[in-house]
Amino acid sequence: MPRVSISPIRVGELSFLILDCPSDATLPAYLPVLEEHHVTDLVRICEGNPYDPKPLNDIGIRVHDDMKFTDGTAPGKDVVARWLNLNDEVFFNSPDKGRCIAVHCVSGIGRAPVLVAISLIEGGMDSLDAIAYIRKARRGALNRIQIAFLDSYKKRKHGFGTKKTSTVVNGSSYPSSSSTLPAASGPGNEKKKTGFISKMFGKK
């Protein structure tokens, strides 16, 4: 059986699996793990269609191919909006609890962790805490560009919830939901962000 690389990320109502990219040959090894974690949706960020989604559809997992962005970069406003709308739908607008979103790029250390980090920030976690939390679960995750994006990321005015309103993502409005998830970081977690990226990667 092929080895699978899967990193669970769970904070409050949010539950994600970060994967490396399956192929048609390795996908069968992922299916029981995805079912075990109650995955209902899988987001493919990598280019092209590396495997047939039918085996996933056959076990009730929806495959999303509309959130792709270039390797090594941060997502644009439209991708962020679609990702947060999916989070709202899966975690807060469904009567079924314990659902999970799986997400992968190629190796699962860049684009997929960025999207999950955005969700943690929207849920109340400090951006630097979110970066550290994901890096603990997924070694080597996130490059300089992606960390800079997350460090300066501005949450939408309305957090996760059930009431429809407008989502504000870096100044642009999209349909979404309101209400907020309880904060993941406690009191006293304010950090000095000056020089954070230089400290992690070295000055350039």
Tokens standing for residue 69: 């962005």
d(CA 201, CA 146): 12
Tokens standing for residue 177: 């939901």
- The phi and psi torsions of 40 (rounded to 5 degrees) equal -110, -20
- The conformation of residue 88, written as its DSSP 8-state character, comes to I
- If you search the block for the tokens 């709202």, which residue do you land on? 88
- The answer to whether 41 is a known catalytic residue is no
d(CA 31, CA 135): 25
Options 88, 105, 126, 129, the catalytic residue: 105
Residues 6+ apart with CB under 8 A from 84: 118, 119, 122, 156, 167, 169, 176
- The answer to whether 21 is a known catalytic residue is no
Options 71, 88, 96, 129, the catalytic residue: 71
d(CA 18, CA 6): 6
Give catalytic residues, as residue numbers: 71, 105
